[in-house]
């Protein structure tokens, strides 16, 4: 039986996103990756650091994946388009640490606070794992 | 391979009294470390920049100027200057002045900074993390070659040919880029043809080789010659007469730092087993006898291909000045010659 490989989308091409992309390609997943910069430049980096992963836009990563990993810095989370991941299975790899994310007024709790993804009543619809 | 130290002026507990050394005494101890390094043949000495209650190094250029007056040949640098949170014009003026004080021994290592205390302190928005660094790096590079720059950008007022003085002793003030593991930072440094300082805090340092290749390729495709694409690596390190002594000298303060500052920053609490693994052949800690440390530096230099510089972060929060001085003397007097004899 030949199953389609799982399509993994990774949003965020930093230390975590790029490393995960490499490991996922090695595990024979179909990997799409997006970052905050230019897609061409990301493709250039991916050819060296995670060969086999396809660099594309965040919109396409969200549309074309079975599972989406959120690997952007926490303080960038709100720059993603609202509703982008509606109905998706999302793996949330973000954590709030005040020392690196700055003091965010609506997250007064201490470091290590889960992101809005895993909070009940999140405006986004879908399944989330952390 | 040049051998250097990049230390922090952070709070230190005197192991004999169990008390924190007063800030003015600690500052004198730090300056003494630079003097010992200078006399021992260590090539470079850097000081970190932090804006935090456990640290005394928020004004690193002031500290380096004092060190410059006390030393003769060691090169003085930052590790790293948080460029995003400062005005490039003011920074250039300060480092050019330091270059006059030190008679041409100054280097800048510019980074985004791994911690962000400086952002709210200076009224900056973290959302501008990348654009601040990109823009300010462009400006400071321009200031290096042009005393009367014309410049306009988002984050400061335009320059219309006013003079930026003094000019440094060195025709081109060395400017390195300090990076962590963010791939796009390696590409940026390569495209600009700037020497690269890679800070590695854990794990097998050879995992960074693909990122260093990325830097070199980005540099080559932007037309920069290989000699302008120098690579340095920075890790935790400490030297003792034996592996065991070095490991035991460094451990208590390392444990303390990781369970206080490290915890605040989301780093896991360390165990001795993990610490000992990092000291091993494939770990990021260069802690051991001169021979062990030298062998590890040489192995890293071989993996990287062409390593210009290796620096270690030796600051430890529970340590006597005598233990620190001995370690510095071993680094300059034994590790450095051993590395040179093994690589020549």
ipTM score of the complex? 0.74
Q: What is the pLDDT of residue B77?
A: 97
Interface of B with A (CB under 8 A): 114-117, 119-120, 126-127, 130, 180-184, 187, 210-211, 213-214, 217-218, 264-266
More confident position, A66 or A124: A66
CA distance A5 to chain B (A): 27
Distance, in Å, from the CA atom of B256 to the CA atom of B10, rounded to the nearest integer, reads 13
Q: Bridge-partner residues for B235, per DSSP?
A: B312
Per-position pLDDT tens, chain B of length 344:
999 999 999 999 999 999 999 999 999 999 999 999 999 999 999 999 999 899 999 999 999 999 999 999 999 999 999 999 999 999 999 999 999 999 999 999 999 876 778 888 999 888 788 899 999 999 999 999 999 999 999 999 999 999 999 999 999 999 999 999 899 999 999 999 999 999 998 899 999 999 999 999 999 999 999 999 999 999 999 999 999 999 999 999 999 988 887 777 777 778 999 999 999 999 999 999 999 999 999 999 999 999 999 999 999 999 999 999 999 999 999 999 999 999 98
Q: How high does pLDDT run on average in chain A?
A: 82
CB B44 within 8 A of CB B309: yes
Distance, in Å, from the CA atom of B3 to the CA atom of B41, rounded to the nearest integer, reads 9
Tokens read off for B95: 């480092």
Q: What is the pLDDT of residue A129?
A: 76
CA B188 to chain centre: 19
Across the interface, whether the CB atoms of A102 and B116 are under 8 A apart is answered yes
CA distance A37 to chain B (A): 9
Name the CA radius of gyration of chain A, rounded. Answer: 15
Distance, in Å, from the CA atom of A115 to the CA atom of A126, rounded to the nearest integer, reads 15
Q: What is the pLDDT of residue A125?
A: 55
- The per-residue DSSP string of B197-252 comes to EEE--SS-GGGGHHHHHHHHHHHHHTT--GGG--EEEEEEEEE-SSHHHHHHHHHH
CA distance A2 to chain B (A): 33
Q: Residue A120, SS3?
A: coil
Torsion angle of the four alpha carbons B62, B135, B188, B166, in this order, in degrees rounded to the nearest 10 = -40
Q: Where are the beta strands (DSSP E) in chain B?
A: 2-7, 44-47, 75-78, 81-82, 106-111, 150-151, 159-160, 175-179, 196-199, 231-239, 286-288, 309-313
Which of A44, A48, A100 has its CB closest to that of B116? A100
Q: What is the mean pLDDT of residues A8-20?
A: 94
> With 60 as the cut, is the pLDDT of residue A116 above it?
no
Q: What is the pLDDT of residue B153?
A: 97
Tokens read off for A41: 């430049």
CB contacts, 8 Å: B179 with chain A: none
Distance, in Å, from the CA atom of B10 to the CA atom of B60, rounded to the nearest integer, reads 12
Closest by CA position to B256, among listed B304, B177, B318, B313: B318
Q: What is the mean pLDDT of residues A47-67?
A: 94
Which A residues 61-100 touch B at CB under 8 Å?
Answer: 75-76, 79, 95, 97, 99-100
Distance, in Å, from the CA atom of B230 to the CA atom of B246, rounded to the nearest integer, reads 30
Q: What is the pLDDT of residue A127?
A: 76
Closest by CA position to B30, among listed B55, B5, B7: B7
Q: Which of B183, B203, B265 to mutate to test the interface with A (most CBs of A within 10 A)?
A: B183
Q: Peptide bond preceding A68: is omega within 30 degrees of 0, i.e. cis? A: no
Closest by CA position to B257, among listed B316, B327, B319: B316
CB B66 within 8 A of CB B120: no
DSSP 8-state secondary structure symbol assigned to residue A52: T
pLDDT in tens, A86-104: 888 999 988 777 766 777 6
Closest by CA position to B61, among listed B46, B74, B73, B51: B46
Q: Residue B67, SS3?
A: helix
């Amino acid at each position: 039986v030949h199953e389609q490989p799982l399509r993994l989308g990774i949003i965020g091409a930093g230390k975590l996103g790029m490393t995960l992309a490499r490991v996922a390609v090695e595990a024979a997943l179909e990997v799409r990756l997006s970052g905050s910069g230019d897609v061409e430049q990301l493709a250039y980096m991916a050819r060296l650091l995670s060969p086999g992963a396809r660099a594309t836009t965040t919109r396409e990563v969200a549309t074309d994946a079975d599972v989406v990993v959120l690997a952007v810095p926490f303080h960038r989370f709100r720059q993603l388009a609202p509703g982008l991941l509606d109905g998706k299975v999302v793996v949330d790899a973000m954590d709030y640490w005040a020392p690196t994310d700055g003091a965010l007024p609506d997250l007064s709790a201490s470091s290590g606070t889960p992101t809005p993804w895993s909070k009940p009543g999140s405006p986004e619809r879908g399944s989330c794992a952390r | 391979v040049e051998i250097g130290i990049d230390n922090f002026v952070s709070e230190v507990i005197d192991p004999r009294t169990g008390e924190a050394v007063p800030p003015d005494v600690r500052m004198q101890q730090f300056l003494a470390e630079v003097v010992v390094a200078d006399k021992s043949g260590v090539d470079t000495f850097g000081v970190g920049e932090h804006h935090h209650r456990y640290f005394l190094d928020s004004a690193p250029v002031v500290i380096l100027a004092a060190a410059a007056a006390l030393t003769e040949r060691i090169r003085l640098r930052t590790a790293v200057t948080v460029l995003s949170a400062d005005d490039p014009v003011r920074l250039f003026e300060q480092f050019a002045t330091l270059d006059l004080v030190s008679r041409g021994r100054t280097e800048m290592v510019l980074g985004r900074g791994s911690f962000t205390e400086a952002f709210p302190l200076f009224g900056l928005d973290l959302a501008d993390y990348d654009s601040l660094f990109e823009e300010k790096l462009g400006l400071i590079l321009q200031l290096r070659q042009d005393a009367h720059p014309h410049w306009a950008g988002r984050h400061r007022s335009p320059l219309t040919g006013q003079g930026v003085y003094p000019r440094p002793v060195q025709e081109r003030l060395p400017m390195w880029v300090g990076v962590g593991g963010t791939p796009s930072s390696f590409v940026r440094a390569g495209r600009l043809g700037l020497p690269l300082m890679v800070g590695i805090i854990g794990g097998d340092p050879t995992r960074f080789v693909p990122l260093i290749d990325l830097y070199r390729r980005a540099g080559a495709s932007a037309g920069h010659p290989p000699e302008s694409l120098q690579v340095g690596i920075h890790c935790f390190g400490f030297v003792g007469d034996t592996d065991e002594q070095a490991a035991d000298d460094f451990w208590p303060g390392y444990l303390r730092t990781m369970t206080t500052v490290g915890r605040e920053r989301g780093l896991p609490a360390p165990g001795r087993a993990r610490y000992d693994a990092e000291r091993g052949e494939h770990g990021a800690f260069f802690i051991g006898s001169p021979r062990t440390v030298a062998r590890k530096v040489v192995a890293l230099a071989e993996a990287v291909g062409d390593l210009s510089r290796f620096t270690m972060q030796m600051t430890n929060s529970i340590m006597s000045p005598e233990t620190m001085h001995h370690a510095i003397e071993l680094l300059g007097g034994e590790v450095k010659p051993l590395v040179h004899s093994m690589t020549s």
